[in-house]
């Protein structure tokens, strides 16, 4: 196990996190190369080796070292902005390895990605399709498109990360999809390759994926009945992780990955199949390392105040998300309380009303599952610098992936 106690002290890939804190300071994100490689290898074996095209959802964590690592396993990238496109190009991803998702693409973004002949645009509305047709025409290109279908399937996850219900902003109704595909001649610069779906994130049961596969089987049959032939089907992503036990192996948390791949091939094997995993690849490969500033009692309520904050990990404030809390020294007694940061917001809490280890001033705290949607959603609110990212190599060496932001770097943006 990459993250574990050795001689009662918390380690990552054999490296004592006390030594990491002494070298790089806190708060800091610590990633395990061992876990990143394990997760990428599982996805390669389960999907890529079965013929799926797998694109990592870069929004989960866009660190270039991580992107370069997963690229070696044959994954492409799923982007949602100009910045992510430029990062993909910076890391050497070719146009054929890039999908462009998102409900609001700008003219500048469309022109930039059309010039590279990216693999697919996931189109989510009529206005986007019409804009893409105009920009492709101007560029003398034919844009490869997957129309994003909203299948109204409940992903059984948090409402804020559900994307496949009809009340969500994403995708289009089956009727609109069918209309565009049966009127493809109206868009001479669009190549309608197929359908994209993404029903939500942090899905821990296989049934929503089974339901999506069955839905797409019936929907594609209905398209064939009206003379529409497509060649690509995209199942999206959304595979979940165990936030309560963040160091559980990927195949313990999601033992159903192979069954999803097999069911998709059985029912939809005539199409080029795509998936876009994000969280499942990086979440349990990272932790947030913080230092305890002190303890506080207020009206009988106990608070542990740390130097990390919602600027480093916003998910608890945004979603009420659970992240496991560990002490650097093993077997500390538990105490009910909150873990809070120094940011001047009542929502600046990383754990509420929880049994957490008893911490003293200057103790190190480990916050699990911080490899996804932590650094990538970080902010400089309260003029707090972005925290560093450190990779613990399989060799036991540490590598600084992103330095701690300085005040001069923050102030340099102002004119």
Residue in 35, 70, 1, 45 with CA at minimum distance from that of residue 370:
35
Q: Which of 12, 91, 197, 344 is catalytic?
A: 344
CA separation for the pair 361, 79 (Å, rounded): 42
CA separation for the pair 193, 111 (Å, rounded): 20
- Largest separation between any pair of C-alpha atoms in the chain: 70
> Is 197 tagged catalytic?
no
What is the set of active-site residues?
Answer: 344
């Amino acid at each position: 196990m990459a993250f574990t106690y050795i001689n009662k002290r918390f380690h990552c890939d054999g490296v004592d996190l006390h030594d990491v804190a002494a070298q790089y300071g806190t708060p800091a994100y610590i990633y395990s190369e061992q876990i990143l490689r394990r997760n990428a290898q599982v996805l390669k074996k389960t999907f890529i080796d079965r013929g799926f095209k797998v694109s990592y959802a870069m929004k989960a964590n866009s660190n270039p070292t991580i992107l370069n690592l997963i690229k070696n396993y044959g994954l492409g990238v799923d982007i949602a902005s100009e910045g992510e496109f430029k990062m993909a190009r910076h890391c050497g991803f070719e146009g054929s390895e890039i999908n462009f998702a998102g409900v609001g693409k700008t003219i500048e973004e469309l022109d930039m990605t059309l010039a590279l002949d990216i693999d697919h645009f996931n189109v989510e509305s009529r206005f986007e399709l019409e804009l893409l047709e105009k920009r492709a025409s101007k560029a003398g290109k034919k844009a490869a498109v997957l129309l994003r279908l909203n299948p109204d399937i409940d992903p059984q996850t948090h409402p804020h990360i559900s994307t496949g219900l009809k009340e969500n902003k994403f995708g289009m109704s089956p009727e609109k999809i069918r209309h565009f595909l049966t009127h493809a001649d109206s868009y001479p610069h669009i190549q309608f390759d197929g359908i994209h779906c993404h029903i939500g994130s942090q899905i821990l049961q296989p049934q929503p994926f089974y339901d999506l596969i069955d839905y797409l089987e019936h929907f594609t049959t209905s398209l064939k009945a009206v003379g529409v032939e497509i060649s690509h089907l995209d199942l999206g992503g959304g595979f979940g992780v165990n936030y309560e036990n963040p160091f559980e192996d990927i195949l313990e948390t999601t033992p159903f990955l192979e069954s999803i791949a097999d069911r998709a091939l059985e029912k939809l094997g005539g199409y080029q199949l795509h998936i876009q995993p994000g969280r499942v690849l990086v979440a349990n490969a990272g932790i947030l390392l913080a230092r305890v500033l002190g303890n506080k009692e207020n009206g009988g309520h106990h608070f542990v105040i740390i130097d990390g904050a919602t600027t480093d990990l916003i998910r608890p404030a945004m979603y009420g998300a659970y992240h496991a809390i560990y002490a650097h020294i093993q077997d500390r007694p538990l105490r009910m309380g909150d873990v809070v940061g120094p940011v001047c917001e009542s929502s600046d809490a990383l754990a509420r009303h929880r049994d957490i280890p008893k911490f003293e001033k200057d103790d190190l705290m480990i916050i699990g599952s911080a490899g996804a949607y932590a650094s990538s959603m970080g902010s400089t609110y309260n003029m707090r610098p972005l925290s560093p990212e450190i990779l613990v190599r399989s060799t036991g060496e540490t590598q600084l992936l992103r330095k701690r932001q300085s005040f001069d770097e923050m102030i340099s943006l102002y004119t």
